[in-house]
Structure 1
Amino acid sequence: MYYISTRGNVGQIGFIDAFLMGLADDGGLLVPGDIPIISEAVLKSWENLSFQELMLEIFSYYTNGEIPEEDLKAMVYASYGRFRAPEVTPVRRLKDGLHLLELFHGPTFAFKDIALQLMGELYSYVAQKQNRKIHILGATSGDTGASAIEGVKGKEGIKICILHPHQKVSKVQELQMTTVQEDNVLNLSVHGNFDDCQRIIKELFADIDYKTSRHLAAINSINFVRILAQTVYYFYAYFQVRKGAEYRTVDFSVPTGNFGDIFAGYLAKRMGLPVGKLILATNENNILERFVKEGVYRPGTFQSTYSPSMDIQVASNFERYLYYVLDEDAQAVASLMNQFKHEGGITIGEETLRRVQRDFAAHGVEGEECLATIRKYKDETGYLLDPHSACGVAAAERCEGASDICVSLATAHPAKFDEAIRLCGIEQEFPEQIAKLFDRPQRQTIVDGTKEAIVEELNRFYA
């Protein structure tokens, strides 16, 4: 297995080099040279594996043997040792034909923990084995930052800086990042929105001299290892809902803003998992819904919503999907991304759109529908959905699937978004780990949303 860029100007590189490169040096995204195809016989042999065992099996197709088996096993079991559910990602039946994949049992109560706890272990491993500095730089719409910080705080040889949009994340999300007091952590609260933070991050990673001199490493979903780790729970969920039954397709409904989580599902499907429709749930920032329905990818006007982790207009993982739907034509991808950069949008042809619609359905869940879904399921089932998970469930209800079962991804614990829960007239009890955050001092630096202001802070921190 080797890795290449979606834009075609990065030679074949190995797993660890791909992990460390993050964003490809030509500005594209790294993808496997060939996606491994898992046979039905192998799938059946995986049916009863634990989450950790399944992750080791899937990673074995991608790591090239660059990490000794026992070392990778130790990292995997360390990563999920602090999860509150022994299954790591349990599946709950919500009603006939609809299940929830609970992804919020990690230390920061969000799905980002699944990948980022492992990536923290892996960064620490590489730093020690190669005796190198690793300076992690990332942007967050709320959950990535806390998970990434939790994964590497206090670890020798690693510093982490996270940018988040000032006053545009939930209070709990902010506290999870800014109450961490370790000296290897810097939080920059940036005037602007998440797209501004993400754009600056990409510009810094595209500056190869700066990236190299500052030992930058990526924690966002531009890093393929994060996508790969998230692919595991699609397999795990499938085995839970089809265990002992005929191998038929399962639909997945995925709340998404950056296209990373749903691309992990697409990767699982390409690997041979019997996935029917991938239902893309967005909010008012619905650029991805419009792409699936009309073939037009063009940012609109940014809106703050009840589901702030999806308040994203420019989806950084979209380019990976574009690469595959264009038959792995790197030149075509590079041309379209250049067009997007200069013209602010792209449009695909009718045949390509039909291919998109064979894989995806989409629904933009606006504010009142999101809150109504929270109220409905609390009243009818007693289950409390967070606003992002509610978008996933609402989209599952509204979109026509291809299977008799849909698994909707529950991406965060409702305690992280109490602002929306209270608007539903619901009072919830916070888990102890979250309740304690409100008594801790915060540490963050508020900066202008300019590249120059952020570079000044980075140079001081990474010196």
Structure 2
Amino acid sequence: MQYVSTRGTAMGPYQDVIVEGLAADGGLAVPESLPQIGDRLEELRALTYPELAATVIGLFATDVPPTELARIAHESYNTEKFRSADIVPLKQINGGMTLVGLSEGPTLAFKDLAMQFLGGALDYVLTQRGEVLNIVGATSGDTGSAAEYAIRGRDTLSAIILSPQGRMSDFQRAQMYSLLDDNIHNVAVEGNFDDCQHLVKLVSQDLDFKRKHHIGAVNSINFGRISAQITYYVWAWLRATDAVSATDRAGFEVSFAVPSGNFGNILSGHYARSMGVPIRRLVLATNENNVLHEFFSTGIYRPRSAEQTPATSSPSMDVSKASNLERFVYEVVGRDPERTAALWRELDETGTFDLSSELARFSEEYGIVSGTSTHAHRIHTMRATFEDAGVVIDPHTADGVYVAAFFVEPAVPMLVLETALPEKFAATVTEALGEAPVVSAEHQALLALPQRTTDIANDEAALRAFIEANAKH
């Protein structure tokens, strides 16, 4: 399988794409065509999660030997790293919904499912090539820790992760800033997540600087993460239909509700649906930073400034410039790289673009609907979920549950993708339930560990200087 940029440049096979990250023309890597899996679903039902991951990702990573994919998958998804033997367990909650447990990994967030695999895959490629890679990424809370836990201690990789000063929970900061490994570098930027993401994009687009310092990316612009995330949509459909009779399984539809910030998670669901997984609806849930909801309800994409992006109680979704939206728009405009590039030039020049003429297709052809919630909705939903089902959910998952309720249909299971475990957001859980979530002794000790970070201004020159001083060569 070969890849191209959403703006037209050929990018080569999977191994090249995961090392390169952002395309040289500023676009994002997409496969030349999506593999189809709909007629193979039944033969996948008996596979374990690592076996399924190796199979699904193998459709995209055709240049990686199957034996290596199987090895990386089993090293990524096992009970030493994940708390559930299923890796991704499903659990019934209130309102006829099912929670898809994506937060059983080492950093208690769904990002582990992509990052553990990507860390292993990059290590394999770099070892084969005798190269190193410095991962420069931005995080709103969970991507950074998941990346660092997947990279720490690897000789081929180092991480330079930008996070917004004062915008993460205490637990999120402790997970990242307490890592003192020589190949882990935390940089706290004076600004919000979008500012961090913009700085990363600026240095990544300078090809000479990028090559000189061996810079790559593992945030959701890296297609390796997208390919790994497709696996849990397939897994969740298989598990949700285990009890359905064999004669009724073919084409049996489910819907997914997805708390969304940077659009990578729900994009993976869009790809799974396009590959033939019977998904009726993809329900996009946003918080008060509802740029994506505005786009999917009006067709107008209008990112907001840092000043217009408030800090909320679901901070990992405090995003107003969704990087992965470009991959979806590329599909909407008929995989036309020239029109895609023109839209992003228009966005740079005017701050907006208009696809309202395509609006009906968002729900009719692609099955995507959307909604938004507030802090009050999150608190109410967390409380109701606990009272009705005895399940404590985090505030991001609460955004998903709240919005999903508007789109539940008879005989169509609604699967809500869990974002993180509640102990990562103790203050909000305490407000909702009147008591703090149970925190293990291990995680209580984490909060007390010494932390190391470097503060910088929202300034490209400052980031370049840090990379020059700390990059692995």
Same fold (TM over 0.5): yes
What is the Cα deviation at residue 244 of structure 1?
4.6
Letter in 2 for 1:260: G
SS in 2 for 1:148: helix
1:451 equivalent in structure 2: 460
Q: Does 1:307 align with 2:314?
A: yes
Q: Does 1:383 align with 2:380?
A: no
C-alpha distance in structure 2 between counterparts of 1:45 and 1:296, whole Å: 41
Q: Does 1:368 align with 2:376?
A: yes
Contact 1:392 1:409 in 2 (8 A): yes
2:449 equivalent in structure 1: 440
What per-residue deviation string (whole Å, max 9, x for no partner) do you get for residues 125-153 of structure 1? Answer: 12211111111111000001101000011
Structure 1 portions without partners, runs of 5+: none
What per-residue deviation string (whole Å, max 9, x for no partner) do you get for residues 252-301 of structure 1? Answer: 00001000000000000010000011000000000000111111110231
C-alpha distance in structure 2 between counterparts of 1:402 and 1:261, whole Å: 25
Contact 2:282 2:368 in 1 (8 A): yes
1:277 equivalent in structure 2: 281
What is the Cα deviation at residue 452 of structure 1?
1.1
Letter in 1 for 2:68: D
Structure 2 portions without partners, runs of 5+: none
1:336 equivalent in structure 2: 343
Letter in 1 for 2:461: E
- Structure 2 vs 1, CA of residues 89 and 366 (structure 1 numbering), >3 Å: closer, same or farther? same
What per-residue deviation string (whole Å, max 9, x for no partner) do you get for residues 318-362 of structure 1? Answer: 000000111111111110011001110111132x11001222111
2:436 equivalent in structure 1: 427
C-alpha distance in structure 2 between counterparts of 1:460 and 1:281, whole Å: 40
C-alpha distance in structure 2 between counterparts of 1:12 and 1:218, whole Å: 15
TM-score (structure 2 length as normaliser): 0.95
381-390 vs 402-411, which moves further: 402-411
SS in 2 for 1:187: strand
SS in 1 for 2:230: helix
Matches within 5 A, 1:229-308: 229-245=228-244, 246-247=248-249, 248-300=252-304, 301-308=308-315
In the comparison of the two structures, how many residue pairs are matched? 459
What is the Cα deviation at residue 422 of structure 1?
1.6
Letter in 1 for 2:176: M
C-alpha distance in structure 2 between counterparts of 1:141 and 1:421, whole Å: 19
1:58 equivalent in structure 2: 56
What per-residue deviation string (whole Å, max 9, x for no partner) do you get for residues 202-225 of structure 1? Answer: 111111111111101111000001
Letter in 2 for 1:292: F
C-alpha distance in structure 2 between counterparts of 1:458 and 1:37, whole Å: 41
C-alpha distance in structure 2 between counterparts of 1:21 and 1:133, whole Å: 12
2:47 equivalent in structure 1: 49
- Structure 2 vs 1, CA of residues 394 and 2 (structure 1 numbering), >3 Å: closer, same or farther? same
SS in 2 for 1:163: strand
1:136 equivalent in structure 2: 135
Q: Does 1:407 align with 2:415?
A: yes
Structure 1's consecutive aligned runs of 4 or more residues displaced over 4 angstroms after TM superposition are 400-403
Contact 1:139 1:163 in 2 (8 A): yes
What is the Cα deviation at residue 48 of structure 1?
2.1
What is the Cα deviation at residue 119 of structure 1?
1.0
Contact 2:49 2:77 in 1 (8 A): no
1:107 equivalent in structure 2: 106
Matches within 5 A, 1:155-166: 155-166=154-165
- Structure 2 vs 1, CA of residues 12 and 124 (structure 1 numbering), >3 Å: closer, same or farther? closer
Q: Percent identity?
A: 35
SS in 2 for 1:25: coil
C-alpha distance in structure 2 between counterparts of 1:272 and 1:313, whole Å: 30
C-alpha distance in structure 1 between counterparts of 2:188 and 2:411, whole Å: 43
Contact 2:373 2:403 in 1 (8 A): yes
C-alpha distance in structure 2 between counterparts of 1:271 and 1:132, whole Å: 34
C-alpha distance in structure 1 between counterparts of 2:408 and 2:437, whole Å: 33
Letter in 2 for 1:202: K
87-96 vs 407-416, which moves further: 87-96
What per-residue deviation string (whole Å, max 9, x for no partner) do you get for residues 398-426 of structure 1? Answer: 23659621000111000001121122123
Letter in 2 for 1:53: E
What per-residue deviation string (whole Å, max 9, x for no partner) do you get for residues 434-457 of structure 1? Answer: 211122100001111111111111
Letter in 1 for 2:75: A
C-alpha distance in structure 2 between counterparts of 1:25 and 1:53, whole Å: 34
SS in 1 for 2:417: strand
Matches within 5 A, 1:188-267: 188-245=187-244, 246-247=248-249, 248-267=252-271
SS in 2 for 1:186: strand
Q: Does 1:75 align with 2:72?
A: yes
Letter in 2 for 1:376: A
What is the Cα deviation at residue 432 of structure 1?
3.1
1:127 equivalent in structure 2: 126
Contact 2:77 2:87 in 1 (8 A): yes
SS in 1 for 2:186: strand
2:328 equivalent in structure 1: 321
